[in-house]
Amino acid sequence: MKIEAVELLRVRMPLVSPFRTSFGTQTHRDVLLVRAHTAGAEGWAECVALSDPLYSSEYASAAHRVIADHLVPRLFAAGDVTAALVAPALEPVRGHRMAKAAVETAVLDAQLKAAGVALRDHLGATQARVVSGVSVGIHDSIPQLLEGVAGYLEAGYARIKLKIEPGWDVAPVAAVRERFGDDILLQVDANSAYTRADARHLRKLDRYDLLLIEQPLDEEDVAGHAELARLLDTPICLDESIVSARAAYEAIRTGACSIVNIKPGRVGGYLEARRVHDVCAAAGVPVWAGGMLETGIGRAANLALAALPNFTLPSDISASDRYYAQDLTEPFRLSDGAIDVPTGPGIGVAPIPEILQDLLVDKELVRP
C-alpha cells in the first residue's frame, strides 16, 4: 500500500466538566488526528499525547512536529508499506511512542478499511462488548465527589476509579466505600504522585478492598514498585512505566506489578499493545485498557483491543458523554455497564465531517 499523503488535524474539544488529576486539570482536549491518504481508503488515528508534558514527556504539539518532520518522511521513504512495516521503518527515531502509534494506526485503519476487515478481527478479539469503568477526577470536596460517583453508578458504570494524590487518598476512598458499600468495584490511580517513603501511608488503603492501585511511584521507579508490592496487600498495576512489551515482561518478572494497564499510545501502537497483552497472558497477569480522554476515533480502536481475551478487568473506556457533549464520531453509549465493540472495517468509525470542520483549529498536509 502506498501512502499518498498524511494530514495532521488539530481539534479543540471542550470537556463536559474539568478533569483533575495529580498532574493537573484539563478543561478541554487538544486532539491531534492523523489521516493517511491511500488510493484504496483513508485511515484515521488519534494521537493520545495531552496538551502539556505532565502525564508523559510527549505532548500534542511536539507529537505534531515529530510526525510531520521525522516520522512521515521515513514512512514515505519506506515505499510500499503495511501497518506491520511501520514500526521497523520508524525504529531509528528514539522514543515518541505516542506519535509513532498514531502513524501506525492511521496506516492500519487504511489497510483494514481497504481489505474490509475489522480491527477487532485483525487483533484476534474474542469479546463483543467491553465492560466499562469510569475514571473520576480529584474533586474540591468529598460531598461533590460522592455526588459525581453516584451519577456514574446510576449511569451503569461497572467500576469506579478514583484519581488520588497526597491529601486526597484515604478519605475519599473511605467515603466512597461508606456511601456505596463493599460490592462496587473500586480502584485508585496516583499518576506517580507518591514516593517509596509513602509506603506506610499507602498501606492504609489495604483496608478498602481495592481492585488495584495504579502507578503510585515515578515512571522510572520500577524497583520501587516491586518494593511497595511486597509491603501492600492491594495489587499494584502499572500504567506510565509500561512503555513496551519488554518493559511489561521486566516489571512482571521483578514483581513490580501484578496487573497491567494497556494504553496503545503509550507503548507505540496497537501491534505492540497486543504483544503486551500476550506477555501478560503468558504470565497469568490480567490486563485492562487505559484511556486518554479519547474522542470516538481513539475510543473505537481501544474497544477493539480491549476485546482480546486477557482483558478481564473493566477498562477506562467510558461512553462518549462522560467527556464530550458532542463527540467527533457517532457517540459510544453505555448499555448494562458495557460498550459494543465496533464491527465495521478498520477502526469502524470516522469523524463526522461537519463536526470535525466546526472544531478544527489547524491542519497540515504532508506530501512526499
Give 306's contacts (C-beta < 8 A, 6+ positions apart).
127, 130, 288, 289, 315, 317, 341
Q: Applying CB under 6 A, which of residues 41, 248, 293, 305 lies at the interface with ligand OSB?
A: 293
At 42, give phi and psi (nearest 5°). -110, 145
Which of Mg ion, ligand OSB, none lies near 327, with the C-beta cut-off 5 to 8 A by kind? none
Residues contacting ligand OSB: total by CB under 6 A: 11
Which of Mg ion, ligand OSB, none lies near 291, with the C-beta cut-off 5 to 8 A by kind? ligand OSB
Distance, in Å, from the CA atom of 243 to the CA atom of 94, rounded to the nearest integer, reads 13
Q: Applying CB under 5 A, which of residues 46, 189, 294, 327 lies at the interface with Mg ion?
A: 189
Our CB check for ligand OSB shows the closer of 38 and 191 to be: 191
Q: In the structure grid, which three cell numbers stand for residue 9, read together?
A: 488535524
Distance, in Å, from the CA atom of 121 to the CA atom of 85, rounded to the nearest integer, reads 19
CB of 306 to Mg ion, least distance (A): 15
Q: Does 194 contact ligand OSB by CB under 6 A?
A: no
CB of 214 to Mg ion, least distance (A): 5
Q: What is the DSSP string of 126-172?
A: --SEEEBEEEE---SSHHHHHHHHHHHHHHT-SEEEEE-BTTBSHHH
CB of 50 to ligand OSB, least distance (A): 6
Our CB check for Mg ion shows the closer of 30 and 239 to be: 239
Give 354's contacts (C-beta < 8 A, 6+ positions apart).
none
CB of 1 to ligand OSB, least distance (A): 31
Q: Of 33-41, 217-225, 244-252, 290-298, which segment contacts ligand OSB by CB under 6 A? A: 290-298
Number of residues written out for the chain:
368
Asked whether 3 and 103 are in contact (CB, 8 A), the reply is: no
Q: Of 78-86, 124-132, 284-292, 338-346, which segment contacts ligand OSB by CB under 6 A? A: 284-292
Q: Does 193 contact ligand OSB by CB under 6 A?
A: no
Distance, in Å, from the CA atom of 244 to the CA atom of 230, rounded to the nearest integer, reads 24
Q: Does 318 contact ligand OSB by CB under 6 A?
A: yes
Q: Closest Cα partner for 323 from 143, 58, 136? A: 136
Which of ligand OSB, Mg ion, none lies near 318, with the C-beta cut-off 5 to 8 A by kind? ligand OSB
CA distances from 305 to 291, 298, 320, 343 (A): 12, 11, 17, 12
Q: Does 239 contact Mg ion by CB under 5 A?
A: yes
CB of 318 to ligand OSB, least distance (A): 5
Q: Does 290 contact ligand OSB by CB under 6 A?
A: yes
Give 93's contacts (C-beta < 8 A, 6+ positions apart).
66, 70, 71, 74, 100
CB of 161 to ligand OSB, least distance (A): 7
CB of 190 to Mg ion, least distance (A): 8
Our CB check for ligand OSB shows the closer of 292 and 356 to be: 292
Q: Closest Cα partner for 137 from 157, 163, 160, 159? A: 163
Our CB check for Mg ion shows the closer of 109 and 189 to be: 189
Instruction: Tabulate helix, strand, coil % of the chain (nearest 5).
Output: 40, 25, 35
Distance, in Å, from the CA atom of 238 to the CA atom of 329, rounded to the nearest integer, reads 30
Region 229-268 residues binding ligand OSB, contact defined as CB under 6 A: 239
Our CB check for ligand OSB shows the closer of 19 and 44 to be: 19
Locate cell 488515528: which residue? Answer: 45
Our CB check for ligand OSB shows the closer of 83 and 293 to be: 293
Distance, in Å, from the CA atom of 76 to the CA atom of 78, rounded to the nearest integer, reads 5
Region 98-157 residues binding ligand OSB, contact defined as CB under 6 A: 135
Catalytic residue check, 163: yes
Region 43-72 residues binding ligand OSB, contact defined as CB under 6 A: 55
Q: Is 142 exposed, middle or buried (0-12, 13-18, 19+ CB in 10 A)?
A: middle
Helix (H/G/I), strand (E/B), else coil: 130:
strand
Q: Does 30 contact Mg ion by CB under 5 A?
A: no
Q: Show which residues are catalytic.
A: 163, 263
* Interacting residues toward ligand OSB by CB under 6 A: 55, 135, 189, 191, 239, 290-293, 316, 318
